[in-house]
A and B are shown apart, each in its own frame.
Chain A
Amino acid sequence: MEDNIAVSLRRVNKTFIIRTNSDKTIRKRLKKFGLRKSSSLKKIKALKEINIDIYKGESFGIIGKNGSGKSTLLNIIMETYKPDPGGQIITQGKIMRLALGLGVDPNLTARDNIYVNGSIIGLSFKKIGELFAQIIEFAGIQNFVDTPVKFYSKGMKQRLMFSIAMYADADVFLLDEFFGGTGDQDFKKKSDKAFQDRIIEGKTNIIVSHSMAVIRNHCKRAVLIENGEMKKIGKVEDVIKIYNNESN
């Protein structure tokens, strides 16, 4: 792989095999023992022949309708899911997925969540300790550091997650509908700028959004995914044009 590529997908297919009457219990399996043929398998091709190279430092958009395979693609990049045999994914650097409301354990305090997230992304405790005050201050939750996150308001939760991401220092961010509506006016102003400076600039971003404005603002290249296939990849304007035409 070339040095300037951050994420490379080659011939990635993903087939979900779903048993229509899913036998998730021993009882059901025993009952059907010997009648194997009757359990009907359903194959769903969620992704077909995906080939994408995403370069270091670029912001790359992924657009498509609901159910087109965007989330599956993200899960494959995160290596939460395995592609079908033959597919190849190579990623360089640390990857972090940002989706508001995900990534924090509601039963832990903000302090613990910051440490868990930070250490998994690869920061040493010393480093987290140094950044800790800044993270808390940025999120504006100084008085609730040792309160379990489940007692937080929705806005506070979002600000915490955002703040962790800002300082987490991953190389590649997967932004899963992460834009817009974060906190109140003040925080929004502050976060938009911080977001631009700390996350977008100089990092590799893969942006998934239904908002064409967001994609247009941040990305130069994008891919349109439809029914698991790459419909169009290339300059962001061209891709959006096709997407809009199809919607109408």
Chain B
Amino acid sequence: MNPFLRILNIIPITNRFERIWKIAQIDFKRRYYNDRLGLIWALLNPIFTVLVYYFIFTVIVKRVSDGIEVNYGIFLFSGIIIWMAFVEMMKKGMRTLIQKRYLIENIKVKKEDLYLSTSLSITFAFIFNIIAYLFMAYIFGVTYSFNLLYLPILIINTFLIGSGVGMVLSIIFVYLRDITHLIDVLIMLGFWISGIFFKAELIKESVPILYYLNPFVGIIDNMRQITLYNKTPNLITMNINIIIGIIIFIIGFHMINKYSQDAMEKL
């Protein structure tokens, strides 16, 4: 079957959707409910990160935060939760074959379901963070409107890219174990070139190609447009990013369908 048709198969056929949902739920519980603070950790992590950079960029290197009209902490927070959700989807996706091996070897299961539920469980925490973020921004005087309705598109976009990259990496990971080091470097690079710390316009002016081809510049920028500035998102980057997301997802999907059996042998 060609990849396009296979993707259609994902559309929730009740039992299947139920299953993906439940495994996601259990994954989520496992991640957060074993600790005493539970889900709060999902929030504390980005908050601490924000505090660190907030201190650096408003006290030590002031120039970075100059010219940003809204509270810089909130500004950072919007970027960091998106980036962290993506990184986690990618890293967890990469280890799915190993972590879910106990199921794959014992019950015939569509492997893509396992990836989807992994990413879905991270999306739960992501949404929780977004709600906390909206709440905090509100306290700092931001007003909302119907532009918030664009928010699910950004979440889905992050999901497509994160799970797609995770699927691709999970296959590569089996053959090249030390790719993790390389990925850590790339994550750091992405962290600095996705416009988390400054406005997207800066990237657009200096490196236009990055502005259009790094989807996170657009996703983070649009997140700020619809939440902090109460504007309509930039539809050009939004559309490009969705297309990029779908392409990455299809590539990932195709790769696990084609190579996951070979990869299981080498595991």
> Chain A: residues with CB nearer than 8 A to chain B?
16, 24-27, 29, 75, 78-82, 91, 94-99, 102-105, 107-108, 112, 115-117, 119-122, 124-125, 148, 170
Contact = CB atoms under 8 A, between A and B. Distances in A.
Contacts of B261: 79-82
B26 interface: yes
B32 to A, nearest CB: 13
A26 B104 contact: no
B48 interface: no
A124 B13 CA distance: 12
Contact of A24 (B34, B109, B175): B175
B31 to A, nearest CB: 10
Nearest to B26: A112
Contacts of B34: 107, 148
Interface residues of B, number: 28
A86 to B, nearest CB: 16
B107 A29 contact: no
Interface in B85-127: 102-109
B102 A103 contact: yes
Nearest to B265: A81
B178 interface: yes
A99 B105 CA distance: 10
A78 B106 CA distance: 7
Given A78-B108, A80-B105, A82-B261, A26 B29 contact: no
B98 to A, nearest CB: 12
Interface of B: 14-15, 18-19, 22-23, 26, 29-30, 34, 102-109, 175-179, 182, 261-262, 264-265
Contacts of A26: 176, 178-179, 182
Contact of B15 (A25, A75, A122): A122
Nearest to B20: A119
B109 A120 contact: yes
Contacts of A99: 106
Contacts of A98: 106
A48 to B, nearest CB: 17
A116 B26 contact: yes
Contact of A29 (B23, B29, B176): B176
Could you say which of B29, B107, B177, B261 has the most chain A C-beta atoms within 10 Å of its C-beta? B107
Contacts of A102: 102, 105-106
A80 B182 CA distance: 29
Contacts of B14: 124
B105 A25 contact: no
28 contacts: A26-B178, A75-B105, A78-B105, A80-B264, A81-B264, A82-B261, A91-B108, A94-B107, A95-B108, A96-B107, A97-B105, A102-B106, A103-B102, A103-B107, A108-B30, A112-B29, A112-B30, A115-B22, A115-B26, A116-B22, A116-B26, A119-B15, A120-B103, A120-B107, A124-B14, A124-B15, A125-B18, A170-B107
A82 B176 CA distance: 21
Contacts of B18: 119, 124-125
Nearest to A95: B108
A117 B107 contact: yes
Contacts of B107: 94-97, 103, 117, 120-121, 170
A28 to B, nearest CB: 9
Contacts of A75: 105
A221 B23 CA distance: 38
